[in-house]
């Protein structure tokens, strides 16, 4: 008979706990099975490994020597099994992510591409809602991470990391190019048709507050459900509207729309990664969170 890994695994637990019964409990087996296994190991090795007493067992000099080699090996193997289990879990795992359209187009998409390159077996479910709906989904446990834009109300159980600032600008179709020749006051534009997001969105609330700060009331002529609808409508000369600068710049450079510069500074906004501290993330979701928060 030769010793195998199971013999050394049992030996490791007996030596660790210095007790056959505790070792059996850790191994989910019976105490007689542990005793029999250790007797076989001692017979194979030709030496005594334990000194038995009523209080338990104590390693002999030979047992101490063997344990000095077996313990590190077992610990490494157990760690390997744990890491493998995590990997296999990731390979069959789904991550649910909620994002507003601005956050998704401006930040999330590029980083999801990088994540999938590194973890191709992880399945991603992406849900597109406005900021408040996305936060509600997060608090209800329906999504793992929320990628949203400020402003929003912060709750104690939520962890918020600001990852990207962005600026919005006012633009109009070529029909309104005269307004792009010089810097104007917002009050000079109130008669022009204004295109905005729907009133249930954070973007609408943000610009409604901006108008109020200028002593004005925002009165949209057209409301749209998603940000990607605003620019096509503006290019058709149906009005003016506020859009993130990075979205508008290509249209401006191509001469399809004009920037209307305001005397009043438009406050900066931020894209944020939000998680619920009351709900632990899976290993794969933690990796995605880290990639979204820290990697360029």
Residue 87 pLDDT exceeds 80: no
Average pLDDT over residues 160-187: 93
Mapping DSSP to helix (H, G, I), strand (E, B) and coil, where does residue 212 land?
Answer: helix
DSSP state of 165: E
User: What pLDDT, in 10s, does the model give residues 47-81?
Assistant: 999 998 877 889 999 999 999 999 999 888 888 87
pTM of the model: 0.65
Are the C-beta atoms of 272 and 150 separated by less than 8 Å?
A: yes
- Indicate the range of 142-146, 239-243, 280-284 predicted with least confidence: 280-284
**Fold (topology level) of 168-266:** D-Maltodextrin-Binding Protein; domain 2 (3.40.190)
Q: Quote the pLDDT of residue 246.
A: 93
Q: In angstroms, how far is CA 267 from the centroid of its own chain?
A: 27
Q: In angstroms, how far is CA 138 from the centroid of its own chain?
A: 12
Average pLDDT over residues 183-204: 93
Average pLDDT over residues 260-276: 94
Choose the CATH number for 94-165+270-294 among 3.40.190.10, 3.40.50.150, 3.40.50.300, 3.40.50.620. 3.40.190.10
């Amino acid at each position: 008979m030769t010793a195998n890994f199971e013999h050394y695994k049992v030996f490791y637990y007996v030596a660790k706990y210095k007790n056959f019964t505790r070792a059996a409990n850790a191994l989910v087996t019976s105490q007689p099975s542990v005793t029999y296994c250790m007797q076989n190991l001692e017979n194979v090795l030709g030496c005594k490994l334990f000194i038995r007493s009523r209080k338990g067992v104590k390693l002999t000099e030979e047992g101490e020597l063997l344990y000095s080699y077996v313990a590190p090996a077992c610990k490494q193997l157990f760690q390997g099994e744990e890491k493998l289990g995590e990997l296999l879990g990731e390979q069959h795992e789904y991550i649910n992510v909620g994002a507003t359209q601005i956050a998704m187009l401006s930040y999330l998409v590029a980083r999801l591409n990088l994540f999938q390159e590194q973890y191709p077996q992880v399945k991603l479910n992406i849900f597109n809602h406005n900021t408040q709906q996305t936060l509600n989904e997060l608090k209800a446990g329906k999504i793992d991470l929320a990628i949203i834009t400020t402003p929003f109300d912060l709750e104690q159980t939520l962890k918020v990391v600001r990852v990207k600032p962005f600026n919005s600008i006012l633009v109009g179709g070529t029909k309104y190019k005269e307004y792009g020749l010089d810097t104007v006051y917002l009050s000079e534009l109130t008669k022009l048709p204004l295109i905005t997001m729907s009133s249930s969105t954070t973007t609408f609330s943000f610009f409604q507050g901006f108008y109020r700060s200028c002593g004005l009331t925002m009165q949209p002529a057209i409301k749209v459900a998603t940000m990607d609808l605003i620019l096509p409508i503006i290019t058709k000369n149906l009005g003016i509207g506020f859009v993130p600068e990075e979205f508008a710049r290509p249209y401006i450079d191509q001469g399809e729309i004009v920037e209307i510069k305001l005397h009043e500074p438009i406050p900066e906004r931020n894209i944020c990664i939000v998680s619920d501290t009351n709900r632990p993330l899976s290993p794969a979701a933690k990796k995605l969170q880290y990639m979204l928060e820290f990697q360029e």
